[in-house]
Structure 1
Amino acid sequence: MKVVASSDWRDGIPFDTPVIVADVLPGEETRCSVCGGDSPLRARTELWAVKHRHPKHHDGFVRFYCVEHLPEITPVEVPVAPIRPAARASRAAPRTSPAPRTPTAPRTPAAPDRVRAMCPDCFVEVSALGLCGICGQTIT
C-alpha cells in the first residue's frame, strides 16, 4: 500500500505570497486570523491568504489576514553555487567512459506455484505428509 498526501485548495497557493482569499477559496464572509473571533466578518475580497512554512509539516499552513495585519514578506535568497575555474577541471584525472554493455539472455518467467492440497473442513493448506494441522484429518 502506498501512502500519499491528499490534495486540496492549499496546494495551489505559493509559499509566502499574499493572495486574495476569494481567488483561491470562494465562500461566505470570514474573519482575519489576527483580529480574532470577536471581530466583524469581512468579505473574502478584503482578506489575504498567506501560506507559511512549517518546520515539521512540509505542506505548511494558511492564514487569512486583513490589510492592517498583512505580514511583511521578505524574499528568501537562494544561495548560488560558486563557479569553478576551468583550470582546476583540467588538472583533474581524465574520465574514462564505461565499458559497453553486453547483451544478456532474456529472463525466463518464474515457475508457477504448485497447487497444494487443502483440508475440505478447515480450508487450510495441509503439510507434505497430508495431515491437517487444525483438525488432524489425513488428506490424500
Structure 2
Amino acid sequence: MKIVSSSDWRDAIAFDVPVLVADVVPGEPTRCVACGTAGELFERTELWAVKHRHPKHHGGFVRFYCETHKPAAAPPPPAPVAVKRARTAAPRAERRPSSPKAVAVTDRPMRTMCPDCFVEVSAGGDCGMCGAQVV
C-alpha cells in the first residue's frame, strides 16, 4: 500500500513567498495568525498567505497574515559558484595505477581440483568436502 498526501490549493503556493489569499482560495473574511483570535476579521484581499516549511511534512503548512505582520519574501537561493582547482601534475615516475591490472583467465595459475567433488583443494592437497588426498 502506498500512502500519499492529498492534493489541494496549498500545493500551488511556493514556499516562503507571500501571495494574496483571494488569489489562491476564496472564502469568508478571516483573521491574521499573528493577531490571534482576538484580532479583527480581514477580507481575503487584505490577507497574505505564506507557505512555511515543516520538518516532518514535506508539503509544509500555510498561514494567513495581515499587512503589518506579513513576513518578507525569502531571498532567492544563491547561485552555485564554480570552483577552479589548481591541477598539480605529478611526475610520471611517481604515478601509480589506481587499481591492479586485471589478469586474463589464461594467465592465472591452474588450481588443483578434487576429481570427485569438483571443489578447489587446500594448499596441503586435502579436499575439504570428501577428505580425499589430491596430488
TM-score bucket of the superposed structures, by smaller chain: 0.5 to 0.7
Structure 2 counterpart of 1:66: 66
1:80 maps to 80
Matched, 1:5 2:5: yes
For 1:24-43, what aligned pairs fall within 5 Å after superposition?
A: 24-43=24-43
Give the TM-score normalised by the residue count of structure 1. Answer: 0.56
CA RMSD of aligned residues (A): 2.4
Matching residue's letter, 1:43: E
> Within 2, Cα distance between the matches of 1:54 and 1:4?
17
Structure 2: any 5+ residue segments left out of the alignment?
88-96, 98-135
Match of 2:19 in 1: 19
Q: Tell which structure's C-alpha radius of gyration is larger.
A: 2
CA shift for structure 1 position 59: 0.8
Identity %: 61
- Say whether the 8 Å CA contact 2:47–2:67 is kept in structure 1: yes
CA deviation after TM superposition for structure 1 residue 74, in Å: 3.1
Higher relative contact order (CA 8 A, sep 6+): 2
1:100-139 to 2 correspondence within 5 Å?
none
Displacement over 6 Å in runs of 4+: none
Report the CA distance shift for 1:2/1:65 in structure 2 as closer, same or farther (over 3 A).
Answer: same
Note the C-alpha offset of 1:81: 5.2
Please, which runs of 5 or more residues in structure 1 have no aligned partner?
94-140
Q: Secondary structure at 1:50's aligned position in 2?
A: strand
